[in-house]
Amino acid sequence: MISDKIQEAFNNQIVAELYSSYLYLSMSAYFESINLKGFAHWMRCQVQEELVHAMKFYMFVNERGGTVKLSAIDGPSTSWASPLAAFQDAYAHERKVTGLINSLVDLAIPEKDHASNAFLQWFVTEQVEEESSADEVIKKIQLAGEQGGGMFMLDRELAARVFTPPPETATL
């Protein structure tokens, strides 16, 4: 059985993960509007990843006998000054999510909720990859410069990203 404290915190995290998905969908729309289709595709893959994260929390709360309570999702930004600014926002957002995950771990430990702590360790590891991915694109944009051929090459590279759901969530 999941405690009320953990249930509330996990419900909040479901909304945070759905917001992440919503934010990346908005970033995808921004990239479409400036004709960077590869960047837009990369963000749509990120949308799918965040939906999987939300569903992992959703399923865990249900499996532990809890109740999922969804709440409103705030509207994300809809425009950015540049592709670099959008990815800098994505990186900052992933750092924020890392803090949220760490706070959940910090809650599970004193609650002696070993199942939740074990579940959260996947997210701890996942956030390292999430931050690294956004930071890698930032560095490539900075190297390429935001004008000219380098951006088109990067756009083509980002178009090649393939979303592969984790095996345990392939049937969500």
Domains and CATH numbers, the chain: 4-71+80-161 (1.20.1260.10)
N-term to C-term CA, the chain: 23
pTM: 0.94
Spell out a b/e string for 133-167, using b for 16 or more CB atoms within 10 Å of the CB, else e. Answer: bbbebbebbeebeeeeeebeebbeebeeeeeeeee
Classify burial at 10, counting beta carbons within 10 Å of its beta carbon; exposed 0-12, middle 13-18, buried 19 or more.
Answer: buried
Is the sign of the CA dihedral 7, 77, 28, 138 positive or negative?
Answer: negative
Q: pLDDT per residue over 119-167, tens digit each?
A: 999 999 999 999 999 999 999 999 998 778 899 999 999 999 999 888 7
Q: pLDDT per residue over 22-36, tens digit each?
A: 999 999 999 999 999
Q: pLDDT per residue over 60-76, tens digit each?
A: 999 999 999 999 999 99
pLDDT of residue 165: 85
Q: Inform me whether the pLDDT recorded for 168 exceeds 90.
A: no
pLDDT of residue 117: 97
